Every structure is written in structure tokens, then in C-alpha cells.
Amino acid sequence: MFLTSLANYLLLILGYPKLQLDSNKTSSEKVTGTQSYIKLQPIDTSSQTEEMIEVKTYKRPWEVNGNESFPAEFDWRNMSGRSFTSIMRNQHIPVYCPSCWAFASTSAYADRYTISKYRQTGAIDTSLVLSVQHILSCANAGKCVHPVNHPGSVLLAYKYMHESGVPDETCNNYKAVDQECSDFTRCGTCWNFTYCPPVKDYTVYKVDDFGSLQGRQAMMSEIYHRGPIVCSIFATKEFEQFTGGTVYQQEVPSGHYDHVISVSGWGVDAEVGEYWIIRNSWGTFWGENGWARLPTSKAFPNDPKKWGGDYNLNVETRCTYADPILN
């Protein structure tokens, strides 16, 4: 009897059994017991390229003023001694999962949520941690297994957050596995070894406008006015072993990407010149407490033979922004 109960418990944790979806809820930010759960809508992108997936109701800051100047250093981790960035995370535990796209998109969202909330209330609260596992289970934006056939998409993740919303980590903590989307994997809890019901009342966090951008000027404008953005990079074996202490620079072929990070600001190094501040999702033991610095395309001002864009892992060529809706 105990083994049977334990087996049922494990099945529930992995997202089983399949549960009937109650309703199609896409507008409210609070999921209630009477309206129950968000129905997963299949995402049809057969007539769209990924770059065409966006919601845009107003011009971005970099479209309004393309020649805007910015301070030499800007870092959302240290705004007059105050940080607006959420906790660092590790996508590779409890097992390996190429879910960088989900971690980067949720971390950048959480940071922007904190920034927007501060502008509204004057209080800084960096405690928001969104459920990456919910996105893996229900967003139809990427998987842990066979990533070549199911590559993760930041834009599809934000599309799902725009239409349906994502709860915080307490609804479905990260397991680094592919679950079936059900009422329980959207938001569930366990009261003993045999009783693990879905939660009927929980908050979801939604995205308003979202879309793509590229280039140093647009990136700085978006970060400066709205908060961190998400960018694809080409993460080499050498980058994986980076231990910090310097601006990371490595020449890589253009147009190559295999990893996703968020960009939270920029600064100036005495030798390299201008650099980006990026957040990774490989734990605090990697890099510089989980962070790293990459040259911008205007780096190496004293070396006319070097262009920064060749040495920054292509970080400026494929980026995404998303505006949070405040609860």
C-alpha cells in the first residue's frame, strides 16, 4: 500500500494524472476557485517567423529618440546603493536542462516588475521569483529533452505570459523535467504523501507589450528606461569555465547562438573599455557571482584593429524586451 501511494505521489509531482481543464481565462491576473484554471491555447506560428511574434501598442524609447545619450555606467544591481535585481538561479539542478531561455525571460521580467513597482509605490521588493517549471510545462515554448528539436523561445514564453500569465515559484518549483500541462502543474501543492491537489486560487503575472530589438543603442535605451532585457549569445566551452575577474572576450562567428542570458546594464573597464553586464543562470559559483561582463560594440577604443562586436559572443544581435503588468 505504501509503495502504491508513493508511486502515485511521484506521478503527481511529474505532472500526472491528466486533469480536465475548466475554463479559458486570459484576462484577469487572479485565478479563482470559481473560474479555476487557464486553458492552454496551442500557439500557431506556422505563418510567423519568431521575430514577428510581438505585441506593440506604442513606440519604444529607442524608436522615439534614436540618438539619445546615456551615462558611462548604468547598473540595475547598484542604483545609488540599491539593487533592483532578483535572486540568482541555476538551471542545471536537480538535473541538466537547457532551460536558459526560460530563466533569462523570467529573471528579466522579475527585475522589470520590481522597477515598475518601485516607480508606482516607492518601495523596492526583489522577492518575485516566477515559476520556470510552469513555463516548461504549459507555455509550449521549449523543452528539456531533445533541445535541437524543441529549442526554447523567449518570444513564445512572453507570448504565453501575455495571453495567460505565469504564477510564482511556489505554484510549481523547478524540477528540470518536461511535465504534462495540467491543473496541478499550473499550480499545485501536497498535503500528505497521497493527496496532491491543484490550487484553485493563485496570482499570475502577465506581460503587456513585448518584442525584439538589437544593437547597442536600442539595448541601452531599453535597459535605461524600462529595465533588463534578454539576449542570445554563443556560449563557448571557454565561457562555461569562466571564473571572473576580467571582462570576458572571445572572438566567435557571427550569427551563432546556443544560450540565453539577460543584460542589466553596462560599465567601463580601464583596458577593454565599454562592457555589458549580463546575468547567467548557472549558479553564483560561476563567473562573477553568477554575472559576467562582455565587451560592447564600442569596446577597445585604443585598438582600431578590434571591433567589440566580434568579441562579445554576439550579445547585441538577438534580444527581447517585455513590459510587466502590475498586479
* pLDDT at site 8: 43
R_g (Cα) of the chain, nearest Å: 20
Does residue 319 contact residue 213 with C-beta atoms inside 8 Å?
yes
- Are domains 12-37+92-205 and 212-327 of this chain identical in fold? yes
Provide the residue type at 286 as one letter: W
* pLDDT at site 34: 30
End-to-end CA distance of the chain: give it in Å, rounded: 44
* pLDDT at site 6: 42
* pLDDT at site 51: 56
Query: Where are the domains positioned within the chain?
Result: 12-37+92-205, 212-327
Does residue 229 contact residue 52 with C-beta atoms inside 8 Å?
no
The residues near 302 (Cβ < 8 Å, ≥ 6 apart) are 273
Topology (CATH) of 12-37+92-205: Cathepsin B; Chain A (3.90.70)
Dist CA 324 CA 118 (whole Å):
13
Dist CA 237 CA 245 (whole Å):
18
Chain center to CA of 129: 11
Does residue 203 contact residue 31 with C-beta atoms inside 8 Å?
yes
* pLDDT at site 161: 98
Cell of 153: 523561445
Count other C-beta atoms under 10 Å from residue 25's C-beta. 17
* pLDDT at site 22: 30
Count other C-beta atoms under 10 Å from residue 129's C-beta. 17
The domain defined by 212-327 carries CATH number 3.40.605.10:
no
* pLDDT at site 149: 62
Q: What is the mean pLDDT of each run of 10 residues along the chain (327 residues)?
A: 42 38 36 32 40 89 93 98 97 96 98 97 97 97 78 94 98 96 97 96 97 97 98 97 97 93 98 98 98 98 94 98 94
Distances (CA, A) of 5 to 16, 187, 272: 14, 21, 59
Residues tagged active-site: 100, 259, 280
pTM, two decimals, is: 0.85
* pLDDT at site 153: 95
